[in-house]
Amino acid sequence: MDNSNATNTLKPADIFSFDFVKNVLRGSGQVMFQNNIWTGLFFIVGIFVGAYMSNQPLVAYGAIVSVIVSTATGYFLPLSKDDGNSGLWGFNGILVGCAFFTFIGNTPFTWTALILCAMLTTWVRTAFNNVLAPYNVNSLTFPFVFMTWIFLFSAREMHNLPGDYLSKPSLIVNLGPFHEMGALEFVKHIFQGVSQVFLINNWITGVLFVIGLLISNKWAGIWALIGSTISLSLAIMFETAETSINDGLYGFSATLTGIAIGMTFFQPNWRSAIWAVLAVVTTVFIQAAMNAFLLPYGIPSLTAPFCIATWLFWLPQFNFDKPSTATKTN
């Protein structure tokens, strides 16, 4: 279990140190699996650029508050110091902040809920990781997805948590018309797909994110772009809803799947590359399916398609490193 040997923990007093700032930045980087403070910094800069350019500064400030809160929460709990020093308490939290002010209006109650939700992700991660530990997989960003869903669905039932920017619940998908896309537009949309990992719809942010990834690991940057490119192409080929394509909404989960399967949980080689491409392709259909499933609620699927696709390709525990032996012994 995740915390069974957690005799070595971080204490509340340790929050007032420069190491805490580093762990917050690592938390930002870990959204795309990079334990790297510079990557984390580029991601935060990208969030601020995108949030201000689209006139939604609260998204950026929500992200800052929630990554600090979720990271700090780990200092109060009996959790492994190693996890804290790898930024693993922050990556779910930072996404909570991005999501809250993208979909919910600004009230004091929204801030209260945001802080609670960010705190929750830290121990819900331990809860989910404990459940998944016997299978040698982890909970990815699902603690963020699950807890944010709770509050977004709650926003439908509470006057003081107004779901102002959620879609209108509906039974019928309006796919809209479908137009051709120019080459320049196509490239911009690839970067928008990457930027939507943090719920930002801005190609410049996407470029900053990719630079941040390349600083940490070339394969991370490459697989982010491969994931976003393949998913965009498939969304166009199968002609999904044009607004979703234009907002990069088919890209972010596929970006994460690409990094997860292409270079994080498997060694990069030709076999794992084929595996990662299949995983990215599958992510697109899971994304479309979840959009349809959540349509009657007007609730977004967040990064759930990434989690589900990655689990489907990770759980078989295939080992593509040594072609001679068939599978990894667990």
**Nearer Cβ to its own copies (165/238):** 238
Question: 143-166 burial, b if ≥16 CB within 10 A, otherwise e?
Answer: bbbbbbbebbeebeeeeebbbeeb
Q: Which of residues 176-205 bind its own copies (CB under 8 A)?
A: 178
DSSP-derived 3-state class of residue 112:
helix
Q: What is the footprint of its own copies within residues 43-82 (CB under 8 A)?
A: 77-79
Stretch near its own copies under the rule CB under 8 A, chosen from 16-24, 59-67, 179-187, 274-282: 274-282
Question: Is the Cβ of residue 15 or residue 45 nearer to its own copies in the bound state?
Answer: 15
Alpha carbon of residue 174 to chain centroid: 26
Tokens at 295, concatenated: 């349509």
Is residue 13 a contact point for its own copies (CB under 8 A)?
no
Distances (CA, A) of 150 to 70, 147, 158, 202, 204: 17, 5, 12, 27, 31
Answer whether 67's CB lies under 8 Å from 56's CB: no
**Complex with its own copies: residue 38 or 109, whichever CB lies closer:** 109
Which of these ranges, 22-30, 33-41, 257-265, 312-320, lies near its own copies under the rule CB under 8 A?
312-320
Is residue 158 a contact residue for its own copies (CB under 8 A)? yes
Q: Is 169 a binder of its own copies (CB under 8 A)?
A: yes
Q: Does residue 321 interact with its own copies by CB under 8 A?
A: no
Question: Closest separation between CB of residue 166 and its own copies, Å?
Answer: 11
- By CB under 8 A, name the one of 52, 135, 165, 186 that touches its own copies: 135
Residue located via tokens 């490193």: 321
Answer whether 221's CB lies under 8 Å from 209's CB.
no
- Give residues with Cβ within 8 angstroms of 214, minimum separation 6: 220, 221
Q: Pick the piece of the chain touching its own copies (CB under 8 A) from 46-54, 198-206, 222-230, 291-299.
A: 291-299
CB under 8 A: which stretch of 40-48, 148-156, 197-205, 210-218 binds its own copies?
148-156
138 binds its own copies (CB under 8 A): no
Cβ distance 282 to 309 under 8 Å? yes
Given a contact cutoff of 8 angstroms between Cβ atoms, the answer to whether 215 and 36 are in contact is yes
Q: Retrieve residue 146's tokens.
A: 């699950």
Q: Which is nearer to its own copies, 77 or 207 (CB)?
A: 77
In the complex with its own copies, the residue whose CB is nearer, 38 or 318, is 318
